[in-house]
A and B are shown apart, each in its own frame.
Chain A
Amino acid sequence: MNDPFEGTAPASVGADELFFGFLKVGLSGFGGVLPFARRMLVEERAWLTEREFTELLSLSQFLPGPNVVNLSIIVGNRFRGPLGSLAALFGLMLMPFLIVLALAALYARFAEFEAVRGATAGVSSAATGLIIATGLKMARPLSAVHWQIPVAALAFVALAIVRVPLLWALLALVPISVALAWRTRQ
């Protein structure tokens, strides 16, 4: 396997270990599990050093797709090739997938009760607040680079207010933003 980090890998991590390691990650967090992936990979099992994790995470976030899914693919591949990727991905997704469908079925079954509908609406409102807080936290470091806030504002207006298809928005915004980032590179 032509893996960039091969030299620093631990002796051996089996496909079964990958499966169960990521199974635990999948069950650990709510509304995103990346912090728990770091805890499992770096602290608990020491499959990666802190620096390796940061490097692989940045690749997962750089590529399109769900970040933690990408991370499971990269880590699985690193230790066990394609089989490792599949083991890690299935481990990550299996239980959350079954649990969320069980919840969806329960909701459908009990939605006739006012309290159940009310509780779900409450969760929806609060989880929306959490997403807004996440966005605002991510926005804090942007103020250091003068062109980044206008780009963020443009993306917001395009998607939230004008509601253009994401593909068009990206085709317009990514080249502008890359050009600005390139011109202001250190």
Chain B
Amino acid sequence: MIPPVLIELARQFGLLSFLAIGGVNALIPEIYRRVVDVEQWISSAEFAQAFAISQAAPGPNLLIVSVIGWKVYGFLGALVATVALCAPASVLTFGVAHVWDRFRDAPLRAAIQRALAPITVGLVLASGYILARAADETLAAYAITVATALLALVTRVHPLWFLAVAAALGAFGVG
């Protein structure tokens, strides 16, 4: 007997797979809505922790889904959530790759791509907003978020340095 929560994980993240236009960074508001607001699998604070853990690991940014799955149902939950997010879109991609050349230069394809660009931007900034609401509880935490955003915009410092400095600040009680 498969535990119902595993089936629900597969269903929720399987549907998200098809909604992930513009990558996983653009998907965070919807993931939050589903796992915190609707299913109530984890709290807002746990969502922020899952995000932090996923950013501290190397690899694609879809790992936040693995951590959420792990919090919900351990290793199996992580596996189901990760596969569910990847598999449907992968099958679609596999199918479309074969016919892509016919549409490569179609004007409608170019129009769709230009149409999705601003939507993706809005979604990524919404991700930032939702994460800030979930992660930043103190003024110092907001300051870290704002300072990181500004410095990442105007300097070419490697992103890991920001995470390392913020971890050190946090460990010593700032933030």
**Interface contact tally, CB-CB below 8 A:** 364
* Residue contact A122 to B169, C-beta cutoff 8 Å: yes
CB–CB B115/A138 < 8 A: no
Chain A interface, >50% SS class: helix
Q: Roughly how many angstroms separate A1 CA and B97 CA in the complex, as a whole number?
A: 11
B85 at the interface (CB under 8 A from A): yes
Could you tell me if A31 and B61 are in contact, using CB atoms closer than 8 angstroms? yes
- Whether A155 pairs with B136 at a CB distance below 8 angstroms is no
B163 to chain A, nearest CB (A): 5
Cβ contacts under 8 Å, A141 to chain B: 117
B32-82 interface with A by 8 A CB criterion: 33, 37, 48-63, 66-67, 70-71, 75, 78, 82
Q: Which residues of B contact A104 (CB under 8 A)?
A: 50, 53, 67, 70-71, 78
Determine the residue in chain B with the shortest Cβ distance to A59: B100
Q: Which of B25, B90, B97, B136 contacts A59 (CB 8 A)?
A: B97
Interface size class of B (residues with CB under 8 A): 35 or more
Q: Is A159 in contact with B30, judged by CB distance below 8 angstroms? A: yes
Listed in ascending order, the chain B residues whose CB lies under 8 Å from chain A are 17-25, 27-30, 33, 37, 48-63, 66-67, 70-71, 75, 78, 82, 85-86, 88-90, 92-94, 96-98, 100-101, 104, 107-132, 135-137, 141-142, 144-150, 152-153, 159-160, 162-163, 165-175
* Interface residue ranges, A against B (CB under 8 Å): 1-5, 26-33, 55, 58-70, 73-74, 77-78, 82, 85, 89, 92-93, 95-97, 99-101, 103-104, 107, 114-116, 118-139, 141-142, 145, 148-149, 151-161, 163, 165-167, 170, 173-174, 177-178, 180-182, 185
